Amino acid sequence: MKKVLVLGAGRSSSTLIEFLLDHAEANDWKVVVGDLDEALAKEKINGNTRGEAMAFDIFNEAHQQKLTDGFDLVISMMPASFHIHVAKICAAHGINMLTASYVTDEIKGLHDEFEKNNAGLIMEMGLDPGIDHMSAMKVLDRIRDAGHVLRAFETFTGGLLAPSTDDNPWKYKFTWNPRNVVLAGQGYTKFIQEGRFKYIPYQKLFRRTEVIHIPEYGYFEGYANRDSLKYLDAYKLQGIKTLYRGTLRQVGYCKAWDVFVQLGATDDTYQLHDVDKMTHRQFINSFLSFNPDDSIELKLAHYLNLDLESDEMYKLKWLGLFEDELVGLDKGTPAQILEHILKKKWTMNPDEKDMIVMWHKFEYYKGEELKQIQSYMAIEGENSVHTAMSKTVGLPLAVSAQLILQGKMSPKGVHIPTDKDIYEPVLSELESHGITFKECEIAN
């Protein structure tokens, strides 16, 4: 019997755990789910006789020892900063490991130890990062293997609401970690455009967008991710003229979100005062100049040069930002307070569906002729539990686990899924589960 341990029973683990349990009997697996909240782990097991739930705290020495209890594979779905603690134990004891989080230099440093102990760790095996790596590398390698010269690569991914009749003017709700949405884009943004290094400061990021048309799905807007340049080495793109990674949103989202950025409402570096007495309206007013004669709406519109009847103002009103409703927190940074307010309107209803959209553009020279390929995927969720986000994060991990446990994939050392030995079998399995890409050639 092969034993697999899943650490973390949150929403993002649902599809992964269901897959492993559904395939456990046929493959003779035992699936153990560990979480700080043992009741949540039991809920995910749902009475399956092949499953077992346990309380797990990575900082508890007794719990750490459980990692070495005969497990063939450990899948960490815990917060990203916790992975290093799991990885050190797995490396030392020769246990295979998977996670969807970004690889770090500290974890890369465990490569030789994993390799020496005949085990592997694959990181960035989720949606973005994960499916984006694999689907892009499949086309990039095909172009290079044919002897063509790559000129440009652009890629965008978005976690969105599925099209519906809902009156939500943002056409957006939280489908992943809300905190990450509120803090998106902070820091630096850099990419390559027509052979030149380009940089966008955070306060300009949501004004520097581009419109993306995806066949069958219409128009979206995209803003740049923080650092596209790290993919020069990961994707073997040294010398490419354009390299740009971005995030997709519905058209109109970015200009409205920029209101929060310009106000300072996404700042996470200091605490506000008297939060327990603060209303939504007072939260917005705390960033505006004092004027007892003007309304908050008027001050905001004047400060940001908005029309009172603008689309941006309508979106803010829909969120309830001008209401005298208490925020509902005792303390918090601007970003934490904004997140709490947004959750009131941006939490998915049980019957709502999300949608994942991913789009790649490849430009290359076939001899002297400039060619372009676009590759795209769109996946809709079933409801607010079985989301497209959960599916596209969980299934790459699930099928990778299956391939490793069946001996069909045996990585040694620390990897991300940019090698053919990893991405080819994983993409093939994902296609059988409905995660597929369409391609079209575009005339330049």
- Does one domain contain both 213 and 78? no
Cβ pair 355, 162 in contact under 8 A: yes
Digits of tens for pLDDT over the chain (444 positions)?
899 999 998 877 888 999 999 999 999 999 999 999 999 999 999 899 999 999 999 998 889 888 888 899 999 999 889 999 999 999 999 999 999 999 999 999 999 999 999 999 999 999 989 999 999 999 999 999 999 999 999 999 999 998 875 689 999 999 888 999 999 989 889 999 999 999 999 999 999 999 999 988 999 999 999 899 989 999 999 999 999 999 999 999 999 999 999 999 999 999 999 999 999 999 999 999 988 878 999 999 999 999 999 999 999 999 999 999 999 999 999 999 999 999 999 998 888 899 999 999 999 999 889 999 999 999 998 888 788 988 899 999 999 999 999 999 999 999 999 999 999 999 999 999 999 999 988 766
Q: 197 burial class (0-12, 13-18, 19+ CB within 10 angstroms)?
A: exposed
- Does one domain contain both 180 and 111? no
Would residue 12 count as lying in a domain? yes
Would residue 94 count as lying in a domain? yes
Final residue of a structural domain among 88, 123, 158: 123
Cβ pair 199, 190 in contact under 8 A: yes
- Does one domain contain both 296 and 313? yes
Residue 279 DSSP SS3: strand
State residue 284 phi and psi, 5-degree precision.
-65, -40
Tokens at 387, concatenated: 């989301």
Residue 74 belongs to what domain range?
2-123
Number of domain units in the chain: 3
Would residue 400 count as lying in a domain? no
**How far is residue 396's CA from residue 31's CA, in Å, rounded to a whole number?**
17
CATH code: domain of residue 36: 3.40.50.720
- Does one domain contain both 215 and 362? yes
| pTM of the predicted model over 0.95 | no
- Does one domain contain both 25 and 117? yes
Would residue 436 count as lying in a domain? no
Would residue 284 count as lying in a domain? yes
Final residue of a structural domain among 105, 123, 141: 123
- Does one domain contain both 75 and 215? no
